[in-house]
Structure 1
Amino acid sequence: MRSRHDHVLLAPGADASGRTLKAPSSRARPRVDDRLAPPETRVEYLDGAELFAAPADAPHATQHFDLTYVLGAHVAPGYRGAVDMLTRVDEGSDYAPDASVFAQKPDRGGHRRLEELAFEVSDKQALAVPTSKARRLIDRGVRRVFCILVKQHRVLEWSRETDGWRTLPKDAVIEDPCLVRPLPLQALLDAASSDDAVARALLQKRVPALEAALAEGEARGEARGEARGVALGEARGVALGEARGVALGEARGEARGEARGALLGELRMAQEAITTVLQARGVAVPAKVARTIAGCDDPSKLRRWLKRAATAATAAEVVAGSRRKR
């Protein structure tokens, strides 16, 4: 329901390619940069009535700061943000939204373009004033108007369908072609969330200084990771080498032990065979000869003695010419 005009001049969107949209009207509207209020003063006009824009105190002032901090980081390329920028809405109204976003490229006449997004911050001020301003901004062609209620910790958006405010959920985001990424409402209401939202927006913009800092951080991280990897690899290599050395030593020890055992077994069998052959033939084996045979660890000599045992008349003949190994 609009009582003042039958046609709406909408601000150009992201796909407007710089076109200036004109609405048919029986009379021309003033340009957005025509002034009723003297610039750089605290005077505004609403329906011909002069308003005084008073300086703010906390928390109103701090909310202004948070708004511009977060909004500024989210403005997309090709757009500009502004604070307290006067906009001539109609013949009797010339006032400044607390923050706004508009296309950076001037229109064909060289004048600045109408805001596409406008934000109001309301604390002690009655909601009637932001409501009147929002209705006229929308009527002029601003696409979207928001109001931050400081005390209630809420964000409102003007609805063309109901010609009034609607409350946005606190976990909602503002998605718009003017913004480089969705802007979380929580970042406007909670200072603790502001830095995170700003950082994500600047990363999305690929700010050169931030890109360089990230690249430097990645390089340092890679260098540290490589150094740690080398140290860890060396440590693992030493441990693996030690483990392999132990295993190899044990294997070699076992092999040598088995070979030594086998050799001793063969010697014992040969020694016993010599004594057995002599005894089977009825040849006595004196203790001295038995000690000589048991003390011999030369396999070839034991084989010779075994052959002699088969024919020797005495045990002494078997070991004749040999010295007992001490």
Structure 2
Amino acid sequence: MARRGVRRVFAIPVSGDKAGHHLVAGPLLEWQPERDDWKTWGNDELLEDPCLSRPLLVGALLDAVQAEKAIVNAVIASDHPDMVKHNESMETRGMRKSLVLMLGARGFEVAEKTRERIETCSDERVLARWIERAVSAGSVDEIFDDA
């Protein structure tokens, strides 16, 4: 980027587990082309640049990253109705995808009408029933027969 004319290049390394928990951000790094290396900024240093309306405390920048992560994790863990609805939606999406994959693995041809029925189903109990049937059913009709 620096060779292409970008005036300043910054990086904030982020580490943590694959699930995105226990993330740690920092330190702030700035590429120094004359040294062909990264400069590490201290949390108590001020980042000054003409594109900033005022100097920025590096620690505040990193704290903002940490603060945003904490907010996201708190919302995910909450019982807020929107999060509950989102989590349920993710679960039903996963069930629908699992059912379609299972049908394919069993060698069943899935008609467009049946695929649409699966994709529009939002009832976890119905999806669970279909998945249970799909394990041993001899045909697609046996899975979706609600008689």
TM-score by length of 2: 0.44
TM-score by length of 1: 0.21
More helix by share: 2
More strand by share: 1
Greater gyration radius: 1
